[in-house]
């Protein structure tokens, strides 16, 4: 068995004296692991860092085997990402999110989104909105997508301001006012209705929204806790936004 694909490194763990098991998200083969012989060498260690985009050749005798990777660089992002606390937590969070998906299931849309967000993880004004959109895309891939396109009560596409915690569907401000205390705020930047800079309050509302559905639909049924990297990312994002405002 053999294939060639591009991928973004999510992490690596030691294997034996000289090798590593490399975890990647690939364009056509999903989240995929493979053994890199000699991966702990001085020459290979800088290449096998989370966030780097690489060319991968995977070989194994049988499809179900771990197999081996041959790795060549395409885009070395790790050094840049390691210089930013926000980016470090961000790449860890992306890895944790992608581990919710079955290994080796192809998700081309998630890979393309990962490639875009990795390029901007050290830019708080871009990384914040991109990460929450990634979370929405992941919920959709997991089968728990939210419908933020039209009002669940009126069918209107305008004036969307809330999300029903029961259905995951949007509700307009007028229709939702009587039940506003039971609804989740929907930031306008997630609907594309208002093109303005994303405020700290809007980001907080957006992450509360995705966090609610992750907890209810993903973490709790699987007996999981929210990954620590999510709290680290949100804390680093808040510090970055405060510095920008200050």
- For 56-89, the pLDDT digits (tens) are 999 999 999 999 999 999 999 999 999 999 999 9
- For 96-109, the pLDDT digits (tens) are 999 999 999 999 99
What pTM value is reported for the model?
0.94
Length of the chain: 246
- Assign a CATH topology to domain 2-77: OB fold (Dihydrolipoamide Acetyltransferase, E2P) (2.40.50)
What DSSP state is assigned to residue 102? P
pLDDT of 150 over the 60 cut: yes
Domain boundaries, the chain: 2-77, 84-245
Backbone φ and ψ for 169, nearest 5 degrees, come out as -110, 150
CATH of domain 84-245: 1.20.1440.120
Query: What interhelical angle do 228-245 and 124-141 show, nearest 10?
Result: 150
Residue 175 neighbours by CB under 8 Å, 6+ apart = 151, 153, 154, 156
With pLDDT > 70 as the criterion, what percentage of the chain qualifies? 97
Closest to 213 (Cα-Cα) out of 132, 105, 108, 123: 132
């Amino acid at each position: 068995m053999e294939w060639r694909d591009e991928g973004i490194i999510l992490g690596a763990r030691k294997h034996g004296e000289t090798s590593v098991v490399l975890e990647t998200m690939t364009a056509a083969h999903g989240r995929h692991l493979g053994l890199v012989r000699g991966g702990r060498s001085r020459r290979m260690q800088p290449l096998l860092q989370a966030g780097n985009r690489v060319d991968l050749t995977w070989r194994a005798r049988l499809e179900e085997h771990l197999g081996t990777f041959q790795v060549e660089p395409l885009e070395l992002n790790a050094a840049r990402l390691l210089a930013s606390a926000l980016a470090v937590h961000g790449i860890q969070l992306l890895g944790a999110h992608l581990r919710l998906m079955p290994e080796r299931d192809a998700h081309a849309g998630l890979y393309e989104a990962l490639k875009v967000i990795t390029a901007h993880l050290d830019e708080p004004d871009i990384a914040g909105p991109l990460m929450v959109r990634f979370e929405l895309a992941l919920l959709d891939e997991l089968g728990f997508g939210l419908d933020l396109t039209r009002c669940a009560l009126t069918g209107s596409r305008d004036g969307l301001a809330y999300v029903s915690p029961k259905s995951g569907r949007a509700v307009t401000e007028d229709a939702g006012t009587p039940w506003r205390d039971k609804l989740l705020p929907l930031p306008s930047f997630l609907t594309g209705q208002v093109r303005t800079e994303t405020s700290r309050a809007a980001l907080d509302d957006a992450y509360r929204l995705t966090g609610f559905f992750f907890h209810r639909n993903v973490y709790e049924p699987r007996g999981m806790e929210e990954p620590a990297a999510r709290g680290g990312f949100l804390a680093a994002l808040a510090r970055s936004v405060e510095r920008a405002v200050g």
